[in-house]
A = this chain, B = another copy of it.
Amino acid sequence: MSLGPRKEQILKAVVDQYIRSAEPVASKQLLEHWALNVSSATIRNEMAELETMGLLEQPHTSAGRVPSPAGYRYYVDQLMGKTGLSTSDREHIDSALKHKVESLERLLAEAGKLAAEITRHPAYALTPTQRYDSFERFVLFASDLLTVVCVVVMAGQQVNSRVVRHGEPVIESALAQLTAALNELLTGLRYDQITPELYDRLEKRSLDGRAYLRAVMVFLADLHGQEEQLRVVVEGSMHLFEHPEYRDIAKAHRMLSYLSDKKNLATLPQPYPTASRGVEIVIGPENVAAALQDASVVMATYHVGEMQGFIGLIGPTRMDYQAVTAKLAYVASKMEQVFQGQPQEEEK
């Protein structure tokens, strides 16, 4: 759908203005700041129509208009300029990411910090690729009538173990079967390679050990989650307070809590590689997470060889998408450069 040039002009003006002022924008204000050669009455009419279309909203009668999520979406997709970032920003990024490749985590942290700093929004970054360890060997044994100890040896020689409890008495033969099944079917695989079919086969082979199988899978999922958490970095959460939408304690609390649980960020949907410039923008209720219903996420992909990682920003829907997109894209591209320039050293 296209709105026609004047509606677009007005929508763009409203969004731009609101991004700057954080106040509902009135028809007269548009006249002052943008050179629209129509009267305020006309603008009012257009704004009313834009509202019925769902692109603008009114906090209450006799207030100015505010972009709706759909309005932001239209703005981002159709109206937003593609202007690059200022040379000072570019220099800032260049110099900040010059020598930071001691370790992967370090670079991530630095890039996140930088992104947060220049955009004034909290930033997060995910390591390039989830190169999870694969399973090497499973050992299960009963430690007493009701408890089973599950030991997993990973290919990297890390050993993890957990006591797995279940209401029913342990059946030795079932346990042996389950152990054999796990070893035969999972050895050499990573957690994320366990497909539903594979699980079915496991279940069929484990017979009476089904309850334990389930517990073991939970254990593996937890391990996986732990690994994942370590690979997320969050920086600059405090920038939240710079934005008036988070002057409400409850809101700030909710968002900060969300940000402080790395699991949340690790499981954010990741951008389609097809998105323009490699930057994807998810606006308000487009987010699945409840805590992000009135927030926007801007995320960029960076590639390291065949792996890809992500760096993103989280802020109010009233974000300067244009500036933020350009900055984030540049940071991401810079990260790629740094990775390429440096022979990839694994352990610090």
Contacts and interface: CB of A to CB of B under 8 A. Distances in A.
Oligomer copy total: 2
A238 B247 CA distance: 16
Interface stretch (A74-82, A249-257, A295-303, A310-318): A249-257
The majority secondary structure among interface residues of chain A is: helix
A241 interface: yes
A171 B252 CA distance: 55
Nearest to A253: B241
A253 B260 CA distance: 15
A260 B238 contact: yes
Contacts of A241: 249, 253
A237 B253 contact: no
Contacts of A102: 160
A123 B253 CA distance: 17
Contact of A238 (B238, B253, B348): B253
A249 B237 CA distance: 14
B237 A260 contact: yes
Contacts of A252: 249, 252
A241 B260 CA distance: 14
Contacts of A160: 102
A257 B235 CA distance: 12
Contacts of A247: 249
A256 B255 CA distance: 13
A265 B246 CA distance: 26
Nearest to A347: B347
Interface string A225-266: 000000000000110010000010100110011001000000
Contacts of A253: 238, 241
Interface in A114-168: 158, 160
Contacts of A260: 237-238
Most B CB contacts (10 A, CB to CB) among A158, A256, A257 go to A256
14 contacts: A102-B160, A158-B348, A237-B256, A237-B260, A238-B253, A238-B257, A238-B260, A241-B249, A241-B253, A247-B249, A249-B249, A249-B252, A252-B252, A256-B256
Closest 6 CB pairs between A and B?
A241-B253, A238-B257, A247-B249, A238-B260, A238-B256, A249-B249
Given A238-B257, A241-B249, A256-B256, 12 more contacts: A102-B160, A158-B348, A237-B256, A237-B260, A238-B253, A238-B256, A238-B260, A241-B253, A247-B249, A249-B249, A249-B252, A252-B252
